Amino acid sequence: MEEFNEGEFFECHEYLEDAWMAESGRVRFLYQGILQVGVGFYHQQNGNWRGATGVLRSGIERLREFEPDTLGLDVAKLVRESESCLEELERLGRGRVREFDTTRIPRVEPFR
């Protein structure tokens, strides 16, 4: 999750995709959800509003089944903060996607 938390979403994708594909249990969908949220922010950073909002929405939906926490991760917080970012991206719209305040991008954190 270090790559995600450092905003290195391409690298995060590579790592999580390997974990997702190697896992046969239900937790693979947790990895997929985190991966999708990261890809959504990757698209935002590249000015791709449709990709950002679509993949972010899919990742949030995937993560909901793991709330409030799974594997010691605060999934509820990640979902809540990702939803807030999605709402802001939708408000900004396609033409202003690069104006999104990237300091709002959530971190994957331990459940407390």
Assign residue 80 the CATH number of its domain.
1.10.3450
Q: pLDDT of the chain along its 112 residues, tens only?
A: 788 999 988 888 778 888 878 888 999 999 999 999 999 999 999 999 999 999 999 999 999 999 999 999 999 999 999 999 999 999 999 999 999 999 999 999 999 8
53 assigned to some structural domain: yes
- What type of residue is 80? R
| DSSP secondary structure, 41-52, as one string | HHHHHTT-HHHH
Q: How many CB atoms lie within 10 A of CB 47?
A: 12
Q: Could you give the count of Cα atoms lying within 13 Å of 77 in the half-sphere of its Cβ? A: 14
- At residue 22, the pLDDT reads 86
Domain of 22 in residue numbering reads as 2-104
Helix segments in the chain, DSSP class H? 2-5, 9-22, 28-45, 49-64, 75-92
110 assigned to some structural domain: no
- At residue 20, the pLDDT reads 78
111 assigned to some structural domain: no
- At residue 59, the pLDDT reads 98
Tokens, residue 111: 């459940």
23 assigned to some structural domain: yes
Q: How many domains does the chain have?
A: 1
